[in-house]
Chains A and B, each alone.
Chain A
């Protein structure tokens, strides 16, 4: 399945040629219109194959103290019905978790499959995927912010169109359909030209605004696929921030299913 991770990469493809309103039928009811926007966003990212990037996470607390994590992130586009993307992250810093790997197989029709590789014991552990709302390595990103972005995982509603910086955006609301989400809903700004996510607001289970994610520094690859290279997550309740800064993405590097199998985790670094 194409499954663009709206949240993690931000996307966009050809776009440009067709005006947005010829793609999204404005006469649709808000629910169908919201979903059509999400589907178009995913469609435009389909066919990317696989990507490899290096990522620096900068965690800043209330006092302004910074901590960094450095990791390699590999993604394989899902091609089988009901299977979403597969992703493999390998930590390089901090040094005490160097070589630790996190493997995720996203499923469209059910719980994701996740494994952790612990290099000190050479041990591969299948872990429960109901960790959706837990913090990813102490950051302001929850697991679900990074991994669960298939179209089928949400119910949608178009809210309005409005300007977002230099662009015109669709503003849609989406409510998680999967279990164990930490959110009641999310509000997503998607640009009308290339269907890239620009901003996401996350509302906690009590409907309070919890976090805001901003996508910046979009660059286009293979004349089609857009990737944000900076993602800023601000937690309004804790005043902490996490900034993801991506290196140049490599596309279609020849990764295959076997590179995302739990049995090969021990050879990653």
Chain B
């Protein structure tokens, strides 16, 4: 929706907006593990996510404002307002500045995003860790013709991870007291973190290297005894150093992917890897539709002092079907196979008319060992989200 449209493409000053508003009820199918959680049933939720942009200097300067508001009938922690972006993007020749609250994504794999570290996870949104909070940043990136792109990211200010309320679904075995985060840094959440990034395309290779030094986006969860409620978990944020590499080799219908990190700062230094492939059958049977097959192996050798993860020694398998029809109908399905259980996802979407979209998302826990410290607390929280969105 352009308010003023100058000559095609190379527009002058303009205000432009997009975003969506959606209704997205969630259905929990099992009775809860803990008595304070609600029973099986349908829980209403709604999102307002507009994005407003103002451009000048032929688009070389752009202000973006993207508030995100969710209301949830069941979980008062999930009802929240965030600024996903409040960002000044400034392009000057080969230099790109980003100043304000923004979102940066790095990486290539599908099942886990190891290298992606700039933004905090908005965990109340979804448990797949793909929703992120806006991060305060001053970022400067430099493009070069033959040596790739270099970026420096200064990150003043830290965002705590969001967690479901103690009486809500998906809270895990013990409730998390979100008002009592502890920090290793004496500056608490005001520490100046920083990151470096280099990326380049060399023929069929897409290569990225990154370094991060600052407060970990992943908290350790430490037990504390509270007089009225009993045992709770509090978040403890350590200062970490992390080096990451992401690599993709693209050949014909094959994508070979690797992400690896080394991290120090929570107990012993550890390494983690996701490696896998994606093979796509294009235009199956002359239908125009594509079927992508995904397989990834996940490894993480962190010890018990580090923030917990299920991806210590797991496989992920899945497929992505894109019909390439007028409605852009697509289905993504997959599962993580852990020694203590299986976590399956299914995401289906289809445009309705010109500006509506319907999505169904399934998150399913199967054969989970009740004794697993992480998965065990979620084993009765399989759910389906139905989303009807109107795009602005």
Contact = CB atoms under 8 A, between A and B. Distances in A.
Given A74-B9, A94-B354, 7 more contacts: A98-B18, A111-B252, A126-B250, A133-B282, A180-B253, A262-B206, A264-B96
Interface string B147-161: 011000000000000
Contacts of A59: 326
A207 interface: no
Interface of B: 7-10, 16, 18, 20, 53, 55, 59, 62, 89, 91, 94, 96, 103-105, 107-108, 130, 141, 143, 145, 148-149, 199, 201, 204, 206, 248, 250-255, 280, 282-283, 286, 288-290, 324-328, 351, 354-355, 357, 389, 391-392
A129 B53 CA distance: 32
Interface string A251-269: 0010001100111100101
B288 to A, nearest CB: 4
Interface residues of A, number: 55
A179 B253 CA distance: 11
A94 B324 contact: no
Interface string A229-248: 00000000000000000011
Given A96-B357, A204-B286, A247 B8 contact: yes
B290 A134 contact: yes
Contacts of A220: none
B201 A250 contact: no
A74 B11 CA distance: 13
Contacts of B20: 95-96
Contacts, number: 144
A61 B355 contact: no
Contacts of B355: 94-96
B331 to A, nearest CB: 15
A142 B324 CA distance: 10
Contacts of B89: 267
A261 B143 contact: yes
A258 B144 CA distance: 8
A184 interface: no
B253 A134 contact: no
Nearest to A98: B18
Interface in A114-133: 121-133
B159 to A, nearest CB: 16
Contacts of B105: 121-124
B8 A54 contact: yes
A182 interface: yes
Contacts of B288: 133-135, 142
19 contacts: A52-B10, A95-B355, A95-B391, A96-B328, A98-B18, A122-B103, A122-B104, A126-B108, A130-B280, A135-B283, A137-B328, A250-B9, A253-B10, A258-B143, A261-B143, A262-B201, A264-B96, A267-B89, A267-B96
Highest count of chain A CB atoms <10 Å: which of B89, B96, B324: B324
A125 B294 CA distance: 15
B282 A130 contact: yes
9 pairs of A and B residues whose beta carbons are closest in the complex = A95-B391, A52-B9, A135-B288, A135-B324, A263-B149, A138-B326, A133-B283, A54-B8, A247-B8
A19 interface: no
